[in-house]
Amino acid sequence: MVAAEVGMTELQHRPTALLVMEERRRDDVYPEAVLKEIGTLVDLREPLTRERLAEDPAALEGVEILLSGWGAPVLDSVLLGHAADLRAVLVAAGSVRPLTTPEFWARELPIVSAAAANAVPVAEFTLAQVLLGLKQVHRISREIRERKAYPPDPRVAGAYRSRVGLLGLGEIGALVASHLRAFDVEALASDPVVDAARAAELGVRLVGLDELFATCPVVSLHAPLLPETKGLVNGELVAKMGIGATLINTARGAVVDEPSVIPVLSGRPDLTAILDVTWPEPPEPDSPLYTLPNVVLTPHLAGALGAERARMGELVAAELRRFVLGEPLQHAVAPDRAHLRA
């Protein structure tokens, strides 16, 4: 729900704000109700796209608050040179990496990410696939089609004291872990930047990658794409997975080393790979990912789609309210943590 309107007398000053993002998804992210809420807090200029702003960077002059989402402008020295009055940036998207630069961080401006809102549908999708994976729904369905017969007594892990592995405990991984606490499963995780105390708070036990893949009937990937995570999930790790195991990737396609993983999936028809992301994306026309029966491809269905995107705009509106009223922001991104967001 969008917060109640602020009375005009509560605001000593109505900052000037500008919304810059792609047109295609703008109405989803900032629907009429959210824009109405924002309009009670700031003087909102006509929205621009990143391309239009590049043509006329002077449009940032006098802007105190920059609102954005997908298609955000890169805040380099050129744009910042026209943004002397800028006081805050609020982004209705998960990562702020695409728009931040060293010049931006040098300004020490607060920047808000809607990662918490974006995490909700991804975690929901993941939870659904985890539960299906524990029942080996995709594998058994394939075998029924191939054999034209039902198995007499399917042997599956199920959601009773089974292990679920999470690679990464960022915003999404942590939310998935939270969801899993409602089930009688043991959650394991691998994340080099999370300590045991934080893992315990999330109800998970930290293990190494080998144990994660070798002992969990379902492994879900939630690691950001960093130099050290590129190609991290390789064929050797996937080959360690048990009979009928499921691999889920809703993170970044390049976290998986597809050239080494594809042969394993080809030789292990018992495994299932749920790939909501690939690299490249979409796969090349001749990619085996299209034809392998144990690969399920989805085009970012886990992410916010349609009306789900309004959650991010609502988060931005709530943060904007806090900012103009001088209250602490709840979703500001710390400079030393920005690179860890996908």
Over its C-alpha atoms, the chain yields an Rg (Å, rounded) of 22
Cis geometry, peptide bond prior to residue 288 (ω within 30 degrees of 0): no
Beta strands in 86-192 (DSSP E): 88-91, 111-113, 160-167, 184-190
| From 25, 222, 252, 309, active-site residue | 252
Residue 275, beta-bridge partner list: 249, 297
| From 24, 161, 181, 300, active-site residue | 300
**300 in catalytic set:** yes
Three-class secondary structure of residue 190 per DSSP: strand
CA distance 44 to 32: 13
SS3 of 168-189? CCCHHHHHHHHHHCCCEEEEEE
AA letter at 228: E
**222 in catalytic set:** no
Please provide residue 37's backbone torsions phi and psi, each rounded to the nearest 5 degrees: -60, -45
| From 5, 51, 61, 281, active-site residue | 281
CA distance 134 to 164: 9
Cα distances from 268 to residues 72, 158, 231, 245, 253, in angstroms, run 42, 21, 20, 10, 21
Three-class secondary structure of residue 128 per DSSP: helix
Beta strands in 239-289 (DSSP E): 246-249, 272-275
Catalytic residue list: 252, 281, 300
